[in-house]
Amino acid sequence: MMSSATGETQVVDKGLGKKPPSKPNEKKTKFDVIIIGAGPAGYTAGIYCSRARRDTLILSGILPGGQLVNTTDVENYPGFENGIMGPDLMINIRKQTERMGTTIIDDEVVNVDFKHRPFKVLTASEEYEGDAIIICTGANPRKLGLEGETTYGGKGVSYCATCDGPFFRNQELVVAGGGDSAIEEATFLTKFASTIHLVHRREQLRASKIMQERAFADKKIKFHWNKTVEEIIGNGKVQKVVLRDTKTNEKTTLEVGGIFVAIGHDPNTKLFANQIELDKQGYIVLKENTKTSVKGVFAAGDVHDRRYRQAITAAGFGCMAAIEVDKFLSEN
Ligand code: NAP
């Protein structure tokens, strides 16, 4: 074996033109760090762990890339003057992570055992061991369950006002929901939209009083009480939203350019329920600096963060978790 000018290892054939016997294809299952999940938090954690020379595996799940894979334009991720499509951003980050030396396997984790180190992470076909774990499994926005949500996802149906609000300047919009998220999204969207139709299934908001007061005082926000969204209609992009009155069943149609669904998020933490501390809504409880209730298990991104929920903050948390993991492995 010798090294080439490019640093790559080459096999030198010293025999009689015969290739050396190939080694059995052993699958590597032990790593310094195992990262579960491959959104901005997971990939960024991978980049930082690998650059710290920690042998790092990302188990990405079967649909890697996280929520950005279902987004179109991303205008608020620094470094892209003209924005970038969500899936392209995630492909770029993945390639960058692989280039740093992180092993990425597109397999789904079905069980974990965090009782002892090394921690065990199981997929349907393999058992992996890691001296430290970073959980980056994210959260999913709850959906209304309408066909139009799929048809017009990224074409007028959105789950993030901060991400997509600026695309709807001077348009009428629907916001569905009655909690803090819905009110926050509606209030934020008044910066861009001409009118916000806030559609709530009851006649009382769940949101905190102070946020309610702000929304009631805002002339751009119109409230539609006891209404559910029945249908999203469009032609290439959203054009109409049909509402149903929960008391009379009467249907009304709003002509709008988009709908923001803000009926809560579900963190992807079922796997960890008996292993680490979760709060009432299932979010991972952090003790300090991305550390969970189990020493050596860290979390980053929307799986613990219900407040910011941005790609850039998730990436930031991924970086923080990786730095903490490196420190933890050095000390232990
Ligand atoms: P949430 O508090 O669970 O509220 C969800 C809202 O959506 C409720 O009004 C609910 O109606 C409605 N809803 C749920 N499923 C629905 C469906 N299938 N169809 C129609 N409507 C539906 O969720 P969230 O607003 O995302 O807030 C989550 C947590 O984060 C809360 O603790 C909240 O206080 C916090 N948060 C805080 C801030 C802030 O302080 N700035 C901002 C955002 C979120 P019902 O009321 O009838 O159940």
Cβ of 206 below 6 Å from ligand 1: yes
**pLDDT per residue over 163-186, tens digit each?**
899 999 999 999 999 998 899 899
184 Cβ closer than 6 Å to some ligand 1 atom: yes
CA quadruple 159, 165, 168, 174: dihedral positive or negative?
positive
* One-letter identity of residue 327: K
Does residue 262 register a pLDDT over 80? yes
**49 among known catalytic residues:** no
Q: How confident is the model at residue 24 (pLDDT cuts 50, 70, 90)?
A: low
> Poorest-confidence range of 32-36, 68-72, 267-271?
68-72
Q: How far apart are CA 52 and CA 319, in angstroms?
A: 11
- Residue 69 structure tokens: 């894979």
Contact 130, 31 (CB under 8 A): yes
CA 52/CA 262 separation, integer angstroms: 39
Percentage of residues in the chain having pLDDT higher than 70: 92
Q: Looking at ligand 1, which residue's alpha carbon is closest to its atom 39?
A: 180
Q: Are strands 127-135 and 30-36 parallel, antiparallel or unpaired?
A: parallel
pLDDT at 11: 34
Q: Does residue 290 surpass a pLDDT of 90?
A: yes
Confidence of residue 18 (pLDDT cuts 50, 70, 90): very low
- Cα dist. 100→92, 108, 181 in Å? 13, 22, 37
Pocket test for ligand 1, best of 140, 142, 181 (most atoms within 8 A of CB): 181
Token duo for residue 146: 């309408």
Residue 19's pLDDT is 40
- Please provide the average confidence, as pLDDT, over all residues in the chain: 91
Ligand 1: nearest atom to the Cα of 180 = 25
d(CA 224, CA 245): 9
Q: What is the pLDDT of residue 68?
A: 81
pLDDT reported for residue 76 = 87
Catalytic entry in 32, 131, 136, 164 = 164
What are the tokens at 324?
Answer: 């903490």
- Please report the pLDDT score of residue 63 as a whole number: 77
Angstrom distance (rounded) from CA 329 to CA 217: 53
232-236 average pLDDT score = 97
**pTM (2 d.p.):** 0.76
Tell me: pLDDT of 294 over 50. Answer: yes
Spacing, Cα 177 to ligand 1 middle (Å) = 7
State whether the beta carbon of 180 lies less than 6 angstroms from ligand 1: yes
Residue 69 has a pLDDT of 76
